[in-house]
Amino acid sequence: MTGFVTLPEAPAFVLKNATLPAICLADTTGLDAREGLISADITIENGRIGAIAAPGAAPAALPATDLRGGMVWPTFTDMHTHIDKGHIWERRRNPDGTFMGALENVSADRQANWSADDVAARMEFSLKCAYAHGTGLLRTHIDSLPPQHEISFEVFSDIREKWADRIELQAVALFAIDMIFEPFFDDLVALLKRRNGLIGGVTQMLPDLDARLDRMFQAAGDAGLDIDLHVDETEDREVLTLGRIAEAKMRNKFEGAVTVGHCCSLARQDEDTARRTIDRVAEAEIAVVSLPMCNMYLQDRHAGVTPRWRGVTLFKELAAAGVKTAVASDNTRDPFYAYGDLDPVEVIRESVRILHLDHPLDDTPRIITRTPAEILGRPERGVIAEGGPADLVLFSARRWSEFLSRPQADRIVMRNGMGIDRSLPDYRELDPLMDK
């Protein structure tokens, strides 16, 4: 895929007249921001960033590419995905597009088809897409009902090693919390310790929810594991486990990182309930990731009825309370979401529209760069810094409206100071899997 400029073939060169989101810079000393954007020359030396200086300040003797105001971002962090179930749409669709339809059809496909070879092929395809789009760090949730947890985590471990020099990978075990008092849970925790994973799960309004959460936090604390949960992915106002999770984290004095995703029903609460819940989440220092594309697709879907709400959480209110907030891809071409390509640019473009993250846009780039990298414990990956790796994404777009109005298909992805081949995998590669 051809980019909008040609990079010099030299160990040291300059990206002239670049525009950088200020929020994505580790240090803005001496650089003036306008609408959250900074103009600069970037010197690349042996695969790393040598200097970020005012336009015209870079060494004139070095080869240079003039970006003519084009944007430069760090590589993206896609912190909530499902690459183990991705790309099964053509063999197992969701005819009515509902959440229950998604659950039923994924379950049926998993039982029928998810061998090690099948999971590996679809994971590989997903990562090829993510890499070509500019993702450098990705967390995936892995369906972990027995015996699938053993199959999929072994596959993931192999792929994580194979892809280590392209995308850093993390994995979360996704299982039903009603299994937490079964022997299976102890087996799962042991597996996650061996495989360097995280405890996940789906919280439900069960009579003994607090006891189940206590069991999870205690097990995670004993094993030294972080937690990443699917929470309140529903329009039902009666379902609100988010505050209970915050209380459980504090009650158990859990010192690990806790992330929650979705939190859709929070937006269905009265103002007092919503505020109390948000305050508890902030107090507990829990991070929240919103998945706007999938949530708009699934939530408030009823046959023959136009949806009345957007399906997303109270993103702005959470951020205003000091909660770390981010967005991510979620599902890709499976019964939970029929579309998507693991492209963070698509995610942020849609998120700006769905969540009204504009006017101003100054800090918005953080939601697919700096903040999710911090949440995943890899803050250095979310910023552009002198001395850091030249892992960058270059865009022809100069200003926010230009960036958000087109898909940026001609972007350039740089890894270690060199442009990569951005060719996307052909869907036909998956045809042998779809014939089952």
278-318 per-position pLDDT tens digit: 999 999 999 999 999 999 999 999 999 999 999 999 999 99
Which residues neighbour 312 within 8 Å (Cβ) at sequence distance 6 or greater? 264, 267, 290, 292, 295, 296, 299, 354, 355
**Is 434 a domain residue?**
no
User: Confidence class of residue 239 from pLDDT cuts 50, 70 and 90?
Assistant: very high
Given CA atoms 224, 230, 236, 237 in this order, what sign does their dihedral have?
A: positive
Same domain, 202 and 60: no
Distances (CA, A) of 335 to 108, 173, 176, 338: 11, 19, 18, 6
State in Å, rounded, how far the first CA of the chain is from the last one: 32
Which residue in the list 45, 150, 161, 233 is annotated as catalytic? 233
pLDDT digits (tens, 9 = 90+) for 148-200: 999 999 999 999 999 999 999 999 999 999 999 999 999 999 999 999 999 99
Reported in sequence order, the residue ranges of 56-212 that DSSP labels E, i.e. its strands, are 64-66, 72-74, 76-81, 135-143, 168-174, 198-199
pLDDT digits (tens, 9 = 90+) for 242-269: 999 999 999 999 999 999 999 999 999 9
Strands 33-34 and 48-53, sheet pairing: unpaired
pLDDT digits (tens, 9 = 90+) for 389-435: 999 999 999 999 999 999 999 999 999 999 999 999 999 999 999 98
Same domain, 300 and 184: yes
**Is 244 a domain residue?**
yes
387 with 48: CB under 8 angstroms? yes
pLDDT for position 3: 86
Same domain, 400 and 336: no
What CATH number did the domain enclosing 402 receive? Answer: 2.30.40.10
**Is 80 a domain residue?**
yes
User: Confidence class of residue 139 from pLDDT cuts 50, 70 and 90?
Assistant: very high
Distance CA 153, CA 197 (A): 9
Three-state DSSP class for residue 199: strand
For residue 33, the cross-strand partners are 38
pLDDT for position 281: 98
Same domain, 368 and 227: yes
Question: Which helix (DSSP H) or strand (DSSP E) does residue 393 occupy?
Answer: strand 392-394
- The dihedrals phi and psi of 259, each to the nearest 5 degrees, come to -125, 145
What CATH number did the domain enclosing 352 receive? Answer: 3.20.20.140
Which residues neighbour 332 within 8 Å (Cβ) at sequence distance 6 or greater? 81, 82, 83, 86, 87, 126, 129, 339, 340, 341, 342
Same domain, 116 and 243: yes
Same domain, 23 and 149: no
**Is 6 a domain residue?**
no
134 with 430: CB under 8 angstroms? no
Distance CA 52, CA 48 (A): 11
Domain hosting 340: range is: 76-380
**Is 3 a domain residue?**
no
pLDDT digits (tens, 9 = 90+) for 64-121: 999 999 999 999 999 999 999 999 999 999 999 999 999 999 999 999 999 999 999 9
Distance CA 413, CA 76 (A): 11
Same domain, 273 and 124: yes
User: Confidence class of residue 206 from pLDDT cuts 50, 70 and 90?
Assistant: very high
* Residue 101 CB burial class (10 angstroms; 0-12, 13-18, ≥19): middle
Render 295-357 in DSSP notation, one character per residue.
Answer: HHHHTT-BTTB--SS-----HHHHHHTT--EEE--B--SBTTBS---S-HHHHHHHHHHHHT-
pLDDT for position 13: 98
pLDDT for position 435: 83
pLDDT for position 230: 98
Same domain, 116 and 67: no
- Answer yes or no: 124 catalytic: no
pLDDT digits (tens, 9 = 90+) for 13-58: 999 999 999 999 999 998 999 999 999 999 999 999 999 999 999 9
Same domain, 343 and 242: yes
Distance CA 269, CA 241 (A): 12
**Is 5 a domain residue?**
no
Give the count of domains, the chain. Answer: 2
Same domain, 163 and 245: yes
**Is 433 a domain residue?**
no
**Is 410 a domain residue?**
yes
pLDDT digits (tens, 9 = 90+) for 358-368: 999 999 999 99
Does the pLDDT of residue 371 top 80, yes or no?
A: yes
pLDDT for position 342: 98
Task: Please tell me what DSSP assigns to residue 35.
Answer: T
Question: Which helix (DSSP H) or strand (DSSP E) does residue 12 occupy?
Answer: strand 12-21
HSE, CB side, 13 Å, CA atoms: give it for residue 278. Answer: 24
Same domain, 302 and 193: yes
Same domain, 351 and 405: no
Does the pLDDT of residue 2 top 80, yes or no?
A: no
HSE, CB side, 13 Å, CA atoms: give it for residue 135. Answer: 32
Reported in sequence order, the residue ranges of 236-286 that DSSP labels E, i.e. its strands, are 258-262
Nearest to 122 by CA among 173, 81, 176, 172: 81
215 with 183: CB under 8 angstroms? no
